[in-house]
Structure 1
Amino acid sequence: MLYVFSGLPGTGKSTLARQLARQLKAVYLRVDSVEAALLNAMNQSVTVEGYAAAYAVAADNLKLGFPVVVDCVNPIAVTREAWADTAAACAAPLVNIEVICSDLTEHQRRVELRHEDKLNHEGQWQPPTWAQVQDTADFYQKWQIPRTVLDTAQGSPQENFRALLSRLPDA
Protein backbone atom coordinates (compact mmCIF):
# COMPACT_ATOMS: atom_id res chain seq x y z
CA MET A 1 0.00 0.00 0.00
CA LEU A 2 1.27 3.47 -0.89
CA TYR A 3 0.03 6.29 1.35
CA VAL A 4 0.86 9.74 -0.01
CA PHE A 5 0.41 12.66 2.38
CA SER A 6 0.11 15.96 0.52
CA GLY A 7 -0.41 19.55 1.59
CA LEU A 8 1.23 22.84 2.30
CA PRO A 9 4.06 23.02 4.84
CA GLY A 10 2.80 23.47 8.39
CA THR A 11 -0.55 21.70 7.98
CA GLY A 12 0.50 18.74 10.13
CA LYS A 13 1.13 16.20 7.40
CA SER A 14 4.58 15.19 8.67
CA THR A 15 3.24 14.55 12.16
CA LEU A 16 0.43 12.38 10.77
CA ALA A 17 2.65 10.60 8.24
CA ARG A 18 5.21 9.68 10.91
CA GLN A 19 2.47 8.38 13.20
CA LEU A 20 1.01 6.24 10.41
CA ALA A 21 4.43 4.90 9.40
CA ARG A 22 5.13 3.92 13.02
CA GLN A 23 1.76 2.22 13.41
CA LEU A 24 2.05 0.29 10.15
CA LYS A 25 5.79 -0.36 10.52
CA ALA A 26 6.02 1.15 7.06
CA VAL A 27 8.83 2.80 5.16
CA TYR A 28 8.66 6.55 5.82
CA LEU A 29 9.78 8.67 2.86
CA ARG A 30 9.95 12.44 3.31
CA VAL A 31 10.59 14.39 0.12
CA ASP A 32 11.92 17.37 2.12
CA SER A 33 14.69 15.14 3.47
CA VAL A 34 15.56 13.88 0.00
CA GLU A 35 15.61 17.42 -1.37
CA ALA A 36 17.68 18.69 1.57
CA ALA A 37 20.28 15.97 1.01
CA LEU A 38 20.44 16.73 -2.71
CA LEU A 39 20.70 20.48 -2.12
CA ASN A 40 23.41 20.09 0.47
CA ALA A 41 25.37 17.63 -1.69
CA MET A 42 25.04 19.49 -4.98
CA ASN A 43 25.22 23.12 -3.81
CA GLN A 44 22.69 24.10 -6.44
CA SER A 45 18.93 24.35 -6.64
CA VAL A 46 16.81 21.23 -6.66
CA THR A 47 13.70 20.99 -8.83
CA VAL A 48 12.28 17.62 -9.89
CA GLU A 49 15.22 15.53 -8.64
CA GLY A 50 13.84 15.06 -5.12
CA TYR A 51 10.51 13.72 -6.30
CA ALA A 52 12.20 11.51 -8.93
CA ALA A 53 14.43 9.95 -6.27
CA ALA A 54 11.46 9.50 -3.94
CA TYR A 55 9.41 7.70 -6.64
CA ALA A 56 12.27 5.27 -7.18
CA VAL A 57 12.83 4.56 -3.47
CA ALA A 58 9.08 4.11 -2.93
CA ALA A 59 8.90 1.67 -5.86
CA ASP A 60 11.85 -0.35 -4.54
CA ASN A 61 10.12 -0.79 -1.18
CA LEU A 62 6.67 -1.47 -2.62
CA LYS A 63 8.17 -4.23 -4.79
CA LEU A 64 9.58 -5.78 -1.62
CA GLY A 65 6.08 -5.81 -0.15
CA PHE A 66 6.55 -3.01 2.37
CA PRO A 67 3.87 -0.39 2.92
CA VAL A 68 5.24 3.07 2.11
CA VAL A 69 4.18 6.37 3.68
CA VAL A 70 5.23 9.42 1.68
CA ASP A 71 5.31 12.94 3.13
CA CYS A 72 5.41 15.68 0.47
CA VAL A 73 3.79 18.93 -0.64
CA ASN A 74 2.71 17.32 -3.92
CA PRO A 75 1.27 20.60 -5.24
CA ILE A 76 0.62 19.82 -8.90
CA ALA A 77 -1.22 17.26 -10.99
CA VAL A 78 2.01 15.94 -12.55
CA THR A 79 3.48 14.84 -9.22
CA ARG A 80 0.15 13.37 -8.10
CA GLU A 81 -0.07 11.37 -11.32
CA ALA A 82 3.52 10.20 -10.87
CA TRP A 83 2.66 8.76 -7.45
CA ALA A 84 -0.32 7.00 -9.03
CA ASP A 85 1.97 5.63 -11.76
CA THR A 86 4.46 4.45 -9.11
CA ALA A 87 1.72 2.57 -7.25
CA ALA A 88 0.31 1.07 -10.46
CA ALA A 89 3.74 -0.10 -11.66
CA CYS A 90 4.15 -1.95 -8.36
CA ALA A 91 0.56 -3.26 -8.28
CA ALA A 92 0.10 -1.43 -4.97
CA PRO A 93 -3.08 0.30 -3.84
CA LEU A 94 -2.72 4.08 -3.53
CA VAL A 95 -4.25 6.20 -0.78
CA ASN A 96 -3.95 9.96 -1.32
CA ILE A 97 -4.31 12.04 1.83
CA GLU A 98 -4.49 15.82 1.60
CA VAL A 99 -3.83 17.56 4.90
CA ILE A 100 -5.09 21.12 5.24
CA CYS A 101 -5.27 23.70 8.02
CA SER A 102 -8.29 25.90 7.36
CA ASP A 103 -7.39 28.36 10.14
CA LEU A 104 -4.82 30.70 8.55
CA THR A 105 -3.74 32.15 11.89
CA GLU A 106 -3.04 28.68 13.27
CA HIS A 107 -1.34 27.64 10.03
CA GLN A 108 0.96 30.67 10.15
CA ARG A 109 1.75 30.03 13.83
CA ARG A 110 2.79 26.45 13.03
CA VAL A 111 5.04 27.50 10.16
CA GLU A 112 6.72 30.22 12.18
CA LEU A 113 7.34 27.95 15.18
CA ARG A 114 8.91 25.07 13.26
CA HIS A 115 12.30 24.37 14.81
CA GLU A 116 12.71 20.65 14.34
CA ASP A 117 13.61 20.87 10.66
CA LYS A 118 16.26 23.52 11.26
CA LEU A 119 18.00 21.15 13.65
CA ASN A 120 17.73 18.05 11.47
CA HIS A 121 19.37 19.32 8.30
CA GLU A 122 22.76 20.93 8.30
CA GLY A 123 23.79 22.98 5.32
CA GLN A 124 21.79 25.13 2.95
CA TRP A 125 18.30 23.69 3.33
CA GLN A 126 15.88 25.49 5.67
CA PRO A 127 12.16 24.97 6.21
CA PRO A 128 9.97 27.46 4.35
CA THR A 129 8.95 30.80 5.81
CA TRP A 130 5.29 31.85 5.98
CA ALA A 131 5.82 34.01 2.85
CA GLN A 132 7.19 30.97 0.99
CA VAL A 133 4.23 28.86 2.12
CA GLN A 134 1.90 31.54 0.77
CA ASP A 135 3.80 31.51 -2.55
CA THR A 136 3.37 27.72 -2.72
CA ALA A 137 -0.34 28.11 -2.00
CA ASP A 138 -0.60 30.34 -5.07
CA PHE A 139 0.41 27.51 -7.41
CA TYR A 140 -1.07 24.59 -5.43
CA GLN A 141 -3.41 23.02 -7.98
CA LYS A 142 -6.93 21.77 -7.33
CA TRP A 143 -7.17 18.02 -7.00
CA GLN A 144 -8.74 16.15 -9.91
CA ILE A 145 -8.36 12.66 -8.45
CA PRO A 146 -9.91 11.12 -5.33
CA ARG A 147 -8.28 11.70 -1.97
CA THR A 148 -9.04 11.78 1.72
CA VAL A 149 -8.99 15.35 3.08
CA LEU A 150 -8.18 15.97 6.73
CA ASP A 151 -8.42 19.46 8.26
CA THR A 152 -6.07 19.75 11.25
CA ALA A 153 -7.11 23.27 12.29
CA GLN A 154 -8.88 21.86 15.35
CA GLY A 155 -7.92 19.07 17.70
CA SER A 156 -4.67 17.70 19.00
CA PRO A 157 -2.27 15.75 16.79
CA GLN A 158 -3.50 12.53 18.45
CA GLU A 159 -7.16 13.44 17.82
CA ASN A 160 -6.35 14.23 14.20
CA PHE A 161 -4.53 10.91 13.86
CA ARG A 162 -7.53 9.00 15.21
CA ALA A 163 -9.77 10.90 12.76
CA LEU A 164 -7.41 9.93 9.94
CA LEU A 165 -7.35 6.26 10.93
CA SER A 166 -11.12 6.12 10.95
CA ARG A 167 -11.13 7.19 7.30
CA LEU A 168 -8.36 4.98 5.94
CA PRO A 169 -8.78 1.50 4.48
CA ASP A 170 -6.70 -1.21 6.16
CA ALA A 171 -4.91 1.14 8.57
Structure 2
Amino acid sequence: MLIVMAGLPATGKSSVAEELGRALPAAVVAVDPVEAAMWRAGVDRGQPTGLAAYLVAEAVADGVLALGQSAIVDAVNAVEAARRQWRVLADRRGVPVAFIEVVCSDPLLHRRRLQGRSRGIAGFEEPTWEAVRRRRAEFEPWTDERLVLDSTADLATNVKKAQEYLRPA
Protein backbone atom coordinates (compact mmCIF):
# COMPACT_ATOMS: atom_id res chain seq x y z
CA MET A 1 0.00 0.00 0.00
CA LEU A 2 1.08 3.59 -0.60
CA ILE A 3 0.21 6.02 2.18
CA VAL A 4 0.58 9.69 1.34
CA MET A 5 0.89 12.20 4.14
CA ALA A 6 -0.01 15.83 3.44
CA GLY A 7 -0.11 19.07 5.38
CA LEU A 8 1.71 22.26 6.15
CA PRO A 9 5.12 22.25 7.83
CA ALA A 10 4.95 21.73 11.62
CA THR A 11 1.42 20.33 11.67
CA GLY A 12 2.73 16.98 12.89
CA LYS A 13 2.56 14.92 9.70
CA SER A 14 6.13 13.62 10.08
CA SER A 15 5.40 12.48 13.63
CA VAL A 16 2.31 10.61 12.47
CA ALA A 17 4.21 9.15 9.49
CA GLU A 18 7.05 7.88 11.69
CA GLU A 19 4.77 6.30 14.29
CA LEU A 20 2.58 4.79 11.60
CA GLY A 21 5.69 3.44 9.88
CA ARG A 22 6.71 1.69 13.08
CA ALA A 23 3.23 0.34 13.75
CA LEU A 24 2.49 -1.11 10.30
CA PRO A 25 5.55 -1.53 9.56
CA ALA A 26 6.15 0.58 6.44
CA ALA A 27 9.09 2.50 5.02
CA VAL A 28 8.81 6.28 5.46
CA VAL A 29 10.09 8.31 2.53
CA ALA A 30 10.40 11.97 3.54
CA VAL A 31 10.93 14.73 0.98
CA ASP A 32 12.68 17.32 3.20
CA PRO A 33 15.81 15.23 3.92
CA VAL A 34 16.08 14.41 0.21
CA GLU A 35 15.98 18.09 -0.73
CA ALA A 36 18.51 18.95 1.98
CA ALA A 37 20.85 16.24 0.64
CA MET A 38 20.69 17.84 -2.79
CA TRP A 39 21.73 21.18 -1.32
CA ARG A 40 24.58 19.54 0.62
CA ALA A 41 25.71 17.93 -2.62
CA GLY A 42 26.04 21.38 -4.18
CA VAL A 43 22.80 21.65 -6.15
CA ASP A 44 21.95 25.34 -6.17
CA ARG A 45 18.92 26.29 -4.10
CA GLY A 46 17.75 28.35 -7.08
CA GLN A 47 17.16 25.12 -8.99
CA PRO A 48 13.81 23.29 -8.71
CA THR A 49 15.04 21.09 -5.87
CA GLY A 50 11.55 20.80 -4.38
CA LEU A 51 10.25 19.14 -7.53
CA ALA A 52 13.40 17.05 -7.81
CA ALA A 53 12.99 15.88 -4.20
CA TYR A 54 9.44 14.71 -4.96
CA LEU A 55 10.74 12.76 -7.97
CA VAL A 56 13.52 11.16 -5.91
CA ALA A 57 10.99 10.27 -3.19
CA GLU A 58 8.79 8.73 -5.88
CA ALA A 59 11.71 6.59 -7.12
CA VAL A 60 12.48 5.42 -3.58
CA ALA A 61 8.81 4.67 -2.82
CA ASP A 62 8.56 2.82 -6.14
CA GLY A 63 11.48 0.62 -5.12
CA VAL A 64 9.88 -0.14 -1.76
CA LEU A 65 6.56 -1.01 -3.39
CA ALA A 66 8.37 -3.20 -5.94
CA LEU A 67 9.58 -5.31 -3.02
CA GLY A 68 5.98 -5.88 -1.93
CA GLN A 69 6.33 -3.58 1.05
CA SER A 70 4.23 -0.58 2.05
CA ALA A 71 5.56 2.96 1.78
CA ILE A 72 4.59 6.18 3.50
CA VAL A 73 5.42 9.41 1.67
CA ASP A 74 5.97 12.37 4.00
CA ALA A 75 5.56 15.65 2.09
CA VAL A 76 3.42 18.78 2.00
CA ASN A 77 1.55 17.59 -1.13
CA ALA A 78 -0.22 20.93 -1.46
CA VAL A 79 -1.03 20.73 -5.16
CA GLU A 80 -3.01 18.35 -7.33
CA ALA A 81 0.04 17.55 -9.49
CA ALA A 82 1.84 16.10 -6.46
CA ARG A 83 -1.20 14.09 -5.41
CA ARG A 84 -1.63 12.80 -8.96
CA GLN A 85 2.02 11.66 -8.91
CA TRP A 86 1.23 9.31 -6.01
CA ARG A 87 -2.01 8.02 -7.58
CA VAL A 88 -0.10 7.20 -10.78
CA LEU A 89 2.63 5.41 -8.81
CA ALA A 90 0.09 3.34 -6.86
CA ASP A 91 -1.75 2.46 -10.08
CA ARG A 92 1.50 1.47 -11.79
CA ARG A 93 2.38 -0.83 -8.87
CA GLY A 94 -1.18 -2.14 -8.50
CA VAL A 95 -1.46 -1.10 -4.85
CA PRO A 96 -4.06 0.95 -3.01
CA VAL A 97 -3.24 4.57 -2.19
CA ALA A 98 -4.49 6.34 0.92
CA PHE A 99 -4.15 10.05 1.67
CA ILE A 100 -3.85 11.40 5.20
CA GLU A 101 -3.83 15.16 5.75
CA VAL A 102 -2.59 16.49 9.07
CA VAL A 103 -3.76 19.93 10.16
CA CYS A 104 -3.32 21.96 13.33
CA SER A 105 -6.55 23.81 14.07
CA ASP A 106 -4.90 26.01 16.70
CA PRO A 107 -2.83 28.68 14.89
CA LEU A 108 -0.97 29.67 18.07
CA LEU A 109 0.05 26.08 18.78
CA HIS A 110 1.02 25.59 15.12
CA ARG A 111 3.22 28.69 15.20
CA ARG A 112 4.87 27.64 18.50
CA ARG A 113 5.62 24.21 17.06
CA LEU A 114 7.18 25.72 13.98
CA GLN A 115 9.29 28.21 15.91
CA GLY A 116 10.44 25.58 18.41
CA ARG A 117 11.24 22.72 16.09
CA SER A 118 14.63 21.51 15.04
CA ARG A 119 14.52 18.23 13.18
CA GLY A 120 18.27 17.92 12.79
CA ILE A 121 18.23 17.67 9.01
CA ALA A 122 21.70 18.85 8.02
CA GLY A 123 21.50 21.84 5.68
CA PHE A 124 17.73 22.24 6.01
CA GLU A 125 16.44 25.55 7.22
CA GLU A 126 13.04 25.39 8.88
CA PRO A 127 10.50 27.65 7.19
CA THR A 128 9.32 30.87 8.79
CA TRP A 129 5.74 31.38 9.93
CA GLU A 130 5.26 33.76 7.00
CA ALA A 131 6.45 31.04 4.59
CA VAL A 132 3.96 28.59 6.11
CA ARG A 133 1.17 31.15 5.70
CA ARG A 134 2.12 31.53 2.02
CA ARG A 135 2.08 27.74 1.58
CA ARG A 136 -1.40 27.61 3.13
CA ALA A 137 -2.61 30.00 0.42
CA GLU A 138 -1.14 27.67 -2.25
CA PHE A 139 -3.04 24.58 -1.08
CA GLU A 140 -5.29 23.37 -3.88
CA PRO A 141 -8.70 21.83 -3.18
CA TRP A 142 -8.74 18.10 -2.58
CA THR A 143 -10.38 15.75 -5.07
CA ASP A 144 -9.27 12.57 -3.31
CA GLU A 145 -10.88 10.89 -0.37
CA ARG A 146 -8.64 11.46 2.64
CA LEU A 147 -8.47 11.20 6.38
CA VAL A 148 -7.96 14.55 8.09
CA LEU A 149 -6.19 14.42 11.45
CA ASP A 150 -5.97 17.41 13.78
CA SER A 151 -2.67 17.45 15.63
CA THR A 152 -4.22 19.25 18.59
CA ALA A 153 -5.14 15.67 19.54
CA ASP A 154 -2.37 13.53 20.95
CA LEU A 155 -0.13 11.55 18.63
CA ALA A 156 -1.27 8.11 19.83
CA THR A 157 -4.91 8.99 19.12
CA ASN A 158 -4.08 10.21 15.63
CA VAL A 159 -2.00 7.14 14.82
CA LYS A 160 -4.86 4.91 16.00
CA LYS A 161 -7.31 6.84 13.78
CA ALA A 162 -4.93 6.45 10.85
CA GLN A 163 -4.61 2.70 11.43
CA GLU A 164 -8.41 2.36 11.56
CA TYR A 165 -8.72 4.35 8.32
CA LEU A 166 -6.13 2.18 6.59
CA ARG A 167 -7.45 -1.16 7.83
CA PRO A 168 -9.99 -1.70 4.99
CA ALA A 169 -7.29 -1.04 2.37
| Structure 2 equivalent of residue 12 of structure 1 | 12
Q: CA deviation at 1:147?
A: 1.1
| Structure 2 equivalent of residue 26 of structure 1 | 26
Deviates more, 1:158-167 or 1:66-75: 158-167
Matches within 5 A, 1:121-140: 121-123=121-123, 125-140=124-139
| Structure 2 equivalent of residue 63 of structure 1 | 66
3-state DSSP class of the match of 2:41? helix
Report sequence identity in percent: 37
Query: Cα RMSD (Å) of the superposition?
Result: 1.4
Q: How many aligned positions are there?
A: 166
Structure-2 separation of matches of 1:58 and 1:130:
30
Matches within 5 A, 1:1-171: 1-45=1-45, 46-115=49-118, 117=119, 120-123=120-123, 125-153=124-152, 155-169=153-167
Query: Structure 1: 5+ residue runs without aligned partners?
Result: none
Structure-2 separation of matches of 1:121 and 1:11:
17
Runs (4+) off by over 4 Å: none
Structure-1 separation of matches of 2:68 and 2:164:
24
Structure-2 separation of matches of 1:148 and 1:101:
14
- TM-score normalized with structure 1 length: 0.91
* 1:68-119 alpha-carbon deviations (Å, 9 max, x no partner): 011100010000000000111111110111111111111111111102x2xx
- TM-score normalized with structure 2 length: 0.92
Structure-2 separation of matches of 1:10 and 1:18:
14
